[in-house]
Structure 1
């Protein structure tokens, strides 16, 4: 009897641990980021952010203002989205390069997607700040 209870508890623990998904978007730590490259409208040239305060603000705004959705990210980049913004967190360690995110609007909602890890809904104001490269708010 004790063995069956132990097996059941172990199974439940493994099941719950495996099913638990992080609600926070996984982003690199500030001290590991060399710079951030942002390419607006996909084909435009890349705008590079090297200022530590702006990088910190961008990380905080994304973390604090994004909510995990039930949508799945199953491709290298968003599908059926005509216009998106590419955000690349370039690491100080070359083997970690880069962490890539995509920012886009779909059906009057704003999203940030990390390929194969998930899609988060983003506040419109934060979307606008990133899209307009305005990191001086707060």
Structure 2
């Protein structure tokens, strides 16, 4: 999933933190990797600490947020 987002995203930025600062986020664990999904200034992102930040479609963010209790994730916010 992340590889697909990396390839399709028109926005990417370096991640320099353990987790996103100043936003509520959903912590997603897949295998041994941890990702953070969040909204900032009306835009939605997924971040892999120290690897990158990618813009994701808002419907994907809403789907993850809506289904967070059904997924193997941890919500912090």
Tell me the TM-score range normalised by the shorter chain. Answer: 0.7 to 0.9
Moved over 3 A (4+): none
Instruction: For 1:71 and 1:88, locate their aligned partners in 2 and report how far apart those are by CA, in whole Å.
Output: 20
Larger RCO: 1 or 2 (CA < 8 Å, sep 6+): 2
TM-score, with structure 1 as normaliser? 0.43
Give the alignment of 1:69-108 within 5 angstroms.
69-81=11-23, 83-90=24-31, 98-108=32-42
TM-score, with structure 2 as normaliser? 0.73
Q: Which runs of 5+ in 1 are unaligned?
A: 1-23, 27-62, 91-97
- How many residue pairs match? The answer is 68
Q: Which runs of 5+ in 2 are unaligned?
A: 71-77
Give the greater-gyration-radius structure (CA): 1
Q: Secondary structure at the match of 1:80?
A: coil
CA RMSD of aligned residues (A): 2.6
